[in-house]
Structures are given as C-alpha cells and as structure tokens.
Structure 1
C-alpha cells in the first residue's frame, strides 16, 4: 500500500510573518547593517516575500518598542540603538562600552554586611563571616543603564571600597588589589519585568523588560571573590556571544 503523503503545514498567518520580519530587521539595526533610514515598505516586502500589509505590521512592532520612528513623507528611521554586552569575555561595563562613551557609577551603598547564607556559600565564606556589599547605579552619559548589587569577599572588598568607585570598574580594582588576573565566571541570565522601585531607579516604565544577570567571578586560581546581581535595561542592552559546539557531541553521526 502506498503511504499517505504527509500533509503540508498551514501557511503562516500574517502576524507570524510580521514577527519574523521584525525579528530580522531588529537584529540588522542592532548589528549596524541598517544605520539610519530603513528600506521602503515595497523594498522590504520584496526582500522578505511578504505583502506590504505584513511589512507595516512588522514595522508597527518595532515602533512600539521605540526602536524606529515613522512619519509621512519622511520615511522610517532608527530612533535608538541598543548597546552590545558580550557573553564570551569577562569584562566590566566600562570595558564593554569603551569607545562608545563614558560610564560613571552612582554609589548607593558600600559597606560591610552579613550576607545571606546563599551568598556566603557561593563566596565560600564561613557562617557569620562578613562580606562587603556595594550597590551602584551605572550611568552611560545621561542614561541609567544598570543597577548592580555586588557582594565581595572581605579581604578584597575592604580595600575595594576605599578606592574610587565612581569611575572604576570593580573588576579592575579586584585585579589591582589581588595582584593577579580574574580567571572565569559562572553566570545565569534571565528576563524579568521591572518592579516599581527598579523602574523608577532606571527611569523606565514599570513592567518593562529587564535582563537580570547573576555572575560569580573567580580569580585565576579559581577562588570566588565577587557575586553580582545586575539589572540591565532590556530596551538598551543586547547580549551577544560566540558559541562553539563541544567536540564530544557526536549525536549527529548515523549508526
């Protein structure tokens, strides 16, 4: 018996196609492939093989994000860009944005504290051993870009908080104080919505998108020294990295 042919999938709805177009155009903007003016609706429709109505829907999504501006007889232009934050190199924010502008730190707290047990365990501190806590609002020009909560082991943290925290990355200070390089970091990244306090601090809408990064940084010898919880504005930061397939992954081989 001849097997029944597999039915074709239902064609994508206009909303699905609009989202696909928006995703690609968004990344072209972030990558600098589109510098100022976007192609016309007709050109985009031809490029993506979709209707002009689908293109309009895609551009409406990007406009709602604040990424583009549209005006009759003027066209569609990039309104603002996001800043790239790498995931494949251990860099502080000042190092990451070097060449784009100046990062300054508004130090909101710098003190010794008894850390929560979960923090103490990650920093390998004994029960009751203090840590140094630093809270900074990181400004990029006139833009509040991230809110950083940092716990440091006391032998390094006590010295860090005597230094200039307004203009220096903590990473650079740790290396100066320890006399050696940072080695690696374990990190977790997730999307959260901005609570009332975070939104007000970062001057963004309540419920807006935040990137929450937990990063445990170690010295070159593997000793953990710095645990951070960083809230970054999702509307102004893009995480980028280069990933390599592990050599032990051989599931693709036919058996």
Structure 2
C-alpha cells in the first residue's frame, strides 16, 4: 500500500490533515463503492487510530460519512426529497441546493407511440414529441427521464437545448402551455441492466419508477416515466392530528424538489 503523506512538521494537526484529504477523496468519488475501515486508514496515512477517529468524527458531524453499529462506514450521498402532492421542477430544486443540474439529451424527436397516446387520451397514430434525458445532480447521475407530449402542442420544443434548462420553462416560453395538475404512480423496482449502467447504480440498488400524467387547460399534455436512483431519492409528506397534509418541506442541506421532474 502506498502511504499518503501527512506533514508532521506542520502547525495543522494530523487529524485535520487526514480529514481534509479524506474530504477531497470523497469529492472525487473514490469511496463510492466502499469506504475504508479504521485499520486501513491507519495503515494508509501511517498515523494513530485516535488520529483517524478524530478525522472521521468531523466527517460524520458534517453528514458526509455515516457510521452505524455493526456496519462499515459509508459515504452519504445527497438525497433528493420529493414532497408528495405538489408540482415541482427537479431542475430548479437541484440548482437551489447549490448543485449544477445537467441533462444529457439522449433522444429528442417526433414519433408515434400507441401505448403513450392512450395514456394521453389520443388516437394511437397521433404524432408525439419524445424527449429522453439522463439527469445529473452535480457530477452524479440521478434519473433517466422519458417524456411524451402531443406534437400539436409541443412541436416548438424540437429546437430547444435541454442540456441546462427545465422542460416546463421551455414549454411555457415556447408554447404558452403551463401544467396545472396531474397524477403519479410510483413503484420500487430493480433497474434493467441498461438503466443500472446509465445511472451507475451500485449492485442491488433499487430504483423508483414514477409514471405521471400532466394536465393543462383540463386535458392531458404530458406522459412521463422517470427512473430514479433509490439511494438518492426519498418521498416526504406532512401530517398532524388534524389530518394528512401534502406540501413542500422546509429547506435542509438535502435537495428539495417538489412533485414532477421538469
């Protein structure tokens, strides 16, 4: 093992030097698969166990590394929380959390799809605009997002650049169409081999499959399927003794979208 250098003549404590180097390595994604145990880090940095424990204590306090009794430490990734029952923009929520939202556009074309047309209440041969994106939060993949819209409404979107913009922003700007309601169906599944590859999912990590219909002016104009990493996504609802309330939770260091991935 190649030992990592610490400056034993520096005024900066050894634990702080180790902590800063571990923070750097976490940021580079070095520990996405497994975080090393104390014995490995002691040998890696050639320092005492107490030095390593002090370095890890700060990383745990920051929420960067988790440690549970009987389980190896692991890197804690930013988690997207979706409050149920509200319309949200994933783009805006990721950006508001201080991460760059970037999309890799895999498909943007005009096609017919009989199954999707039925979801939209249309005749099966109706032309549809189809957009497929790999959504990233920071450098890490978050979701594979596939959306279909009637070409009669959405054809101006065929010229849009969706690398760094919201579908709903472009839909409103180019067509004057604004979604006002909708419904979702959410399931937890294991990803296909291709989805696991695209999302860089660790082995045995489930995904959420979210299917939704978006409504504008009283009629369906969007059908969407989003496959999102289960280890980076959670659902949230609020309730009290007076009943169940759906809405946006207060801001935290986590990402906070609010109910459809635009």
**What secondary structure, in the 3-state scheme, does the structure 1 residue paired with 2:96 have?**
coil
Aligned to 1:210: 207
Moved over 4 A (4+): 37-40
2:129, 2:122 → 1: CA distance? 12
The question of whether the paired residues in 1 share the 8 Å contact of 2:112 and 2:124 is answered with: no
The CA distance in 2 between the partners of 1:198 and 1:37, in whole Å, is 26
In structure 1, the residue matched to 2:134 is 137
SS at match of 1:212: strand
1:188-212 deviation line (CA, Å, top 9, x unaligned): 1110111111000111135421011
Structure 2 regions of 5+ residues with no counterpart?
1-60, 245-262
The 8 Å contact of residues 88 and 242 in structure 1, kept in 2 or not, is answered as no
Deviation string 1:62-110 (CA, Å, 9 cap, x unpaired) is: x5xxxx54xxxxxxxx633312223232112102223221111100001
Secondary structure at 2:196 match in 1: helix
SS at match of 2:207: strand
The SS at the match of 1:159 is helix
User: How far does the alpha carbon of each residue in 1:126-146 deviate from its partner, in whole angstroms, 9 at most, with x for none?
Assistant: 231111111100011210110
Partner secondary structure for residue 166 of structure 1: coil
* Distance in structure 2 (CA, Å) of the matches to 1:190 and 1:137: 19
CA contact (8 A) 2:208 2:227 kept: yes
Partner of 1:229: 225
TM-score normalised according to structure 1 size: 0.64
The residue that corresponds to 2:112 in the other structure is 114
Instruction: Report the secondary structure of 1:84's partner residue.
Output: strand
Over 3 Å counting, the alpha-carbon distance change for 1:192 and 1:38 in structure 2 is closer
Q: Structure 1 residues 37, 123: CA separation in 2 closer, same or farther (over 3 Å shift)?
A: closer
Higher relative contact order (CA 8 A, sep 6+): 2
Counterpart for residue 56 of structure 1: 69
The within-5 A match list for 1:147-226 is 147-219=144-216, 221-226=217-222
What's the counterpart of residue 128 of structure 1? 125
- For 2:46, the equivalent position in structure 1 comes to none
**Native 8 Å contact 1:86 1:96 kept in 2:** no
TM-score (norm: length of structure 2): 0.62
3-state SS in 2 of match to 1:128: coil
Match of 2:238 in 1: 242
Aligned to 1:23: none
Aligned-partner Cα distance in 2 for 1:243–1:168 = 33
Aligned residues: 183
